[in-house]
Amino acid sequence: MIDKRVASMAEAMAGIRDGSVVLLGGFGDVGQPDALIEGLIAQGASNLTVVANNAGRGRTGLARLMELGRVRRIVCSFPRSRGSVVFEELYSAGRIELEIVPQGTLAERIRAAGAGVAAFFTPTAVGTRLAENKEQRSFNGRHYVLEHALPGDVALIEAWRADRFGNLTYRESARNFNPVMAMAARLTIVQAQHLVELGTLDPEAIVTPGIFVSRVLHVPYAQAKE
Amino acid sequence: MIDKRVASMAEAMAGIRDGSVVLLGGFGDVGQPDALIEGLIAQGASNLTVVANNAGRGRTGLARLMELGRVRRIVCSFPRSRGSVVFEELYSAGRIELEIVPQGTLAERIRAAGAGVAAFFTPTAVGTRLAENKEQRSFNGRHYVLEHALPGDVALIEAWRADRFGNLTYRESARNFNPVMAMAARLTIVQAQHLVELGTLDPEAIVTPGIFVSRVLHVPYAQAKE
Amino acid sequence: MPDTRTAPAGLSRSAIACRIAEDIPEGWYVNLGIGIPTLVADYVPPEREVVFHSENGVLGIGPAPSPDSVDPWLINAGKEPVTLRAGGAFVHHADSFAIIRGGHLDLCVLGAFEVAENGDLANWTTGRNDAAAAVGGAMDLAAGAKRLWVAMEHTTKEGAPRLVSRCSFPLTAPACVLRVYTNLAVIDVTPEGFLLLETAPGVSFEAVQERTATRLHRPQTAGSR
Amino acid sequence: MPDTRTAPAGLSRSAIACRIAEDIPEGWYVNLGIGIPTLVADYVPPEREVVFHSENGVLGIGPAPSPDSVDPWLINAGKEPVTLRAGGAFVHHADSFAIIRGGHLDLCVLGAFEVAENGDLANWTTGRNDAAAAVGGAMDLAAGAKRLWVAMEHTTKEGAPRLVSRCSFPLTAPACVLRVYTNLAVIDVTPEGFLLLETAPGVSFEAVQERTATRLHRPQTAGSR
């Protein structure tokens, strides 16, 4: 029987190594795998590269992981937002590396990794400092910049419903980066609000098929947002 | 009121010009916009480039359009299948141009057009004659070939349910090329089995949002497959 | 000679948003940036169907919910709670930016620090050396939307013009802005430079010109007077 | 000296498929090509959960339907009617080939005209000058799956070997085949060339070698005998 459900956080986090590239779903707090981030904090892996839209806020979750010195490098589109105090401190002190990527380029680079595309030409950032020192080329009279696939060793994903195959649906705008990140990592770990029987998810409405998913941990809402 | 529904085939086909690149959904007969192809035959546009997975079969539909001499060029992955008699005749006689594209590269080139990506590096076809004379490059020790976006002037799409915004769902394996082609054309024309009230399609399960759709024609099943 | 020390008030932020809303026809798919642009949606009458898109994968955003009916799973790109209209749909981030980059949005309205007379936009960072500036989706929107309009105050709080011959801040995208709505005027970006289309009530051409760091053109009809 | 004019029968097409099915463990995601590979699914016992993928966007393909319960909207890549198992899902063509190209399939089983000892695969056209040959998804599968196995008759109907030192037909992909299952043998592609793992009942190593156009290696343990 295919059964990707795991019974404990320890089992969910098993095997995440120092130096991993970790893709973190979510846009702000919505669709962010809060429980799995806590699990990663407890698990202990360090020297991580984190790929996420934002650089955390407050002193919990991703911010806490950074504050503990476990994140060597962050790749994101919007590091400096209200409450990103830990990032600001670390960055000012030169204790964290940062790669700024336009949000759409970030999403497309992650998708490219999941889709086996090594690199692609995008018009975003042409003529700006984010395209400096990057290869550029014209197609049909328009300028494009070459961007590379961004794969992860691990993806931490928040889903709404999951079955034992790892088929997933999301809730509203919590979908965001989660489906593309789920495609792009060697080890995709999901926290799901609801576990459902195999066959109850509509095959027309599954957003992430289980082929992209390694492990599913049941994390009901109240626990995730406590 | 946004209302993309059209009342007649003539209205659905209005403005398709000679020389257009026409993206045709479907994989074999499934998900193929049969009624719209008949409409295109009646509409009269010629000197067309058709992008489709297959090159038609029998003497109806796409095969008929080709037999009438209206297709100058076809871009597909699988031209020579059981019953592709018209294509075989025209191709042998040198009366139709052919570009063979691996099926996944075809889908990705169409998606790239819809997504504003000008070109991308794929491992498919490296070391084969379909990559001859194409730019190649290594990334992380693996070889890739550069493939270009393939946009359409017109896309003809078959959907299962549609609302007046042009939001679409598909039925089972009839989904195939339809959602990616819907993204990639300036004029996207849909034949839908069912028209439904706005708000009845689940926003979590809409596969093609209406932003990609120009016109919707109601073509109930019996009529489409007659 | 007009008194340039006293700035004309012109339109309020809400009034700028309202003015922009007037120019958005039914049927457009529109992305609204943070700040004045977000206010635009409130001034499109509900019977005029416009579909609002948000970078985080929402099509068909409706008005803000009442405080007691907030759905924490449904936010816009500014991370504020929103609602979904009938006909709305959710997509993931790669599809959401395929919509943006693929040229499917009829319009994007963004705020700006500066707009240059060739349409260059600077709206993401004021410091050339600020390597940690947050870009978000601004560059994708500026490069991808069919039309880009800017909504901003005509000058900084200190009175420095934001409409300039050449941007002093790092660019978001070159030659992308088509039109600028400010508290003082509506101005098109044309091959000849800035073209003043209208001024706010009680604001003269000269008052706008004085607060603009490059030449404003007048429409041909005005020029023949 | 064995009689090379009388070909050993070896396994039937179904028996080849059955032999392959033995080697597919529970939990794999598998794409099956047209021909012998399609038959493989029938020999995976239903209690061993394997998820079959088809290029046209179906994950979780089940057995063929009875003639009176055919769903015309549900076909596989060979355009035959199929069913969907519990846990199945539909995706569009770009996502389906993202699964393939992105290395998410544990296994793809394809037919072939020829396999070379370096793993080169030729399975889409027999004519170098046939510009209208139909490639379908073969090149994507050969380049993308984690493992590629080939299922084919050991020789052509005329008795010509299909396991060769170098393919004479146009390639589908270079150096992609890991293992070949034929009516006569199971053979791995290794850095040293073809390694014979087992022969069909009643078929000798020599009989397989004679019908192979390049050298077959034996496992180390066999070689020490």
Assess whether pLDDT exceeds 90 at residue C220: no
The pLDDT tens digits of the residues spanning B43-63 come to 999 999 999 999 999 999 999
- pLDDT tens digit sequence for A123-175: 999 999 999 999 999 999 999 999 999 999 999 999 999 999 999 999 999 99
Query: D196 pairs with which residues across the strands?
Result: D187
d(CA C98, CA A68): 36
CA-to-CA dists, residue C108 to A59, A191, C21, C24, D8, angstroms: 35, 35, 12, 11, 71
- Neighboring chains of A (3 or more beta-carbon pairs < 8 A): B, C, D
C225, C26 Cβ separation under 8 angstroms: no
**Sorting pLDDT into bands at 50, 70 and 90, what band is B22?**
very high
> Which of A30-39, B75-84, C178-187 has the lowest average pLDDT?
B75-84
Dist. CA A225–CA A210, nearest whole Å: 25
CA C116 to CA C161: how far, in whole Å? 11
Tell the residue number behind the tokens 């592609």, with chain if given: D189
Domain boundaries, chain B: 5-224
Collect all residues with Cβ–Cβ distance below 8 Å to D50 and sequence separation of at least 6: D24, D25, D26, D27, D28, D29, D30, D41, D44
Give me the pLDDT at residue D7, please. Answer: 62
What pLDDT is attached to residue A216? 98
Interface test with A, best of B103, B108, B110, B121 (most A CBs within 10 A): B121
Tell me if B30 and D75 make a contact (CB, 8 A cut-off).
yes
Q: What is the pLDDT of residue D28?
A: 98
Average pLDDT of chain C is: 93
User: Could you tell me if A226 lies within 8 Å of chain D, comparing CB atoms?
Assistant: no
Q: What ipTM is given for this predicted complex?
A: 0.96
pLDDT in tens, D101-145: 999 999 999 999 999 999 999 999 988 777 788 999 999 999 999
What would the pLDDT profile of B88-134 be if each residue is shown by its tens digit?
999 999 999 999 999 999 999 999 999 999 999 999 999 999 999 99
Q: Which residues of C38-77 are buried (b: 16+ CB within 10 A; e: fewer)?
A: bbbbebbeeeebbbbbbbbbbbbbbeeeeeeeeeebbbbb
Instruction: Flag whether pLDDT at C222 surpasses 60.
Output: no
State the Cα–Cα distance between residues D85 and B86, nearest whole angstrom.
37
Question: What's the confidence (pLDDT) of residue C223?
Answer: 41
pLDDT for the residue numbered A222? 52
CB C178 within 8 A of CB C191: no
- Please answer whether residues C177 and C119 qualify as being in contact, where contact means their C-beta atoms are separated by less than 8 angstroms: yes
Q: Residue C2's pLDDT band (boundaries 50, 70, 90)?
A: very low
Average pLDDT, chain B: 96
Neighbours of chain C (3+ CB pairs under 8 A): A, B
Please give the helix or strand (H or E) that residue D36 lies within, else none.
helix D36-40
Cα B113 from Cα C75, distance rounded (Å): 29
> Which is more confidently placed, D223 or A175?
A175
Task: Mark B108-126 as b/e (b = at least 16 C-beta within 10 Å).
Answer: bbbbbbbbbbbbbbbbbbb
Statement: residue B209 has pLDDT above 60: yes
**B221 secondary structure, DSSP code:** H
Q: Is A5-224 a domain of CATH 3.40.1080.10? A: yes
- pLDDT at residue C57, rounded to an integer: 98
Give the residue from C158, A13, C47 showing the smallest Cα distance to B2: C47
DSSP letters for C161-181? BSEESS-SSPPSBSS---EEE
Active site residues of C: 55
Q: Shortest CA distance to A92 belongs to which of C220, C132, D15? A: C132
- Angle (CA) D150-D152-D154 rounded to 5° is 115
D55 is catalytic: yes
Name residue, tokens 């010109």: C209
pLDDT for the residue C28: 98
Is the minimum CB–CB distance between B58 and chain D shorter than 8 Å? no
Three-state secondary structure string covering chain A: CCCCEECCHHHHHCCCCCCCEEEECCECCECCCHHHHHHHHHHCCCCEEEECCECCCCCCCHHHHHHCCCEEEEEECECCCCCCHHHHHHHHCCCCEEEECCHHHHHHHHHHHHHCCCEEEECCCCCCHHHCCCCEEEECCEEEEEEECCCEEEEEEEEEEECCCCCEECCHHHCCCHHHHHHCEEEEEEEEEEECCCCCCCCCCCCECHHHCCEEEECCHHHHCC
Residue of B77, B128, B71, B58 lying closest to B97 (CA atoms): B71
Digit-coded pLDDT (tens) for C133-146: 899 999 999 999 99
Burial of A178 (0-12, 13-18, 19+ CB in 10 A): buried
Give the gap in angstroms from C-alpha A136 to the nearest C-alpha of chain B: 12
Tens digit of each residue's pLDDT (9 = 90 or more) over D160-182: 999 999 999 999 999 999 999 99
pLDDT for B221 beyond 80: no
| Residue B36, token pair as written in the block | 């719209």
- Band (C7; pLDDT cuts 50, 70, 90): low
Residues of chain A with pLDDT under 50: 223-226
Q: What percent of chain C has pLDDT over 70?
A: 94
**pTM as predicted:** 0.96
The confidence band for D224, taking pLDDT boundaries of 50, 70 and 90, is very low
Which one of A114, A167, A212 has the shortest CB-CB distance to D87? A167
Alpha carbon distance B174, D215 (integer Å): 47
**Cα distance between residue C211 and residue D42, in whole Å:** 78
Query: CA–CA separation, C189 vs C208, rounded Å?
Result: 15
D14-56: pLDDT as tens digits: 999 999 999 999 999 999 999 999 999 999 998 999 999 999 9
Convert the pLDDT of each residue in D66-110 to its tens digit: 999 999 999 999 999 999 999 999 999 999 999 999 999 999 999
B103, B108, B109, B120, best to mutate vs chain A, most A CBs in 10 Å: B120
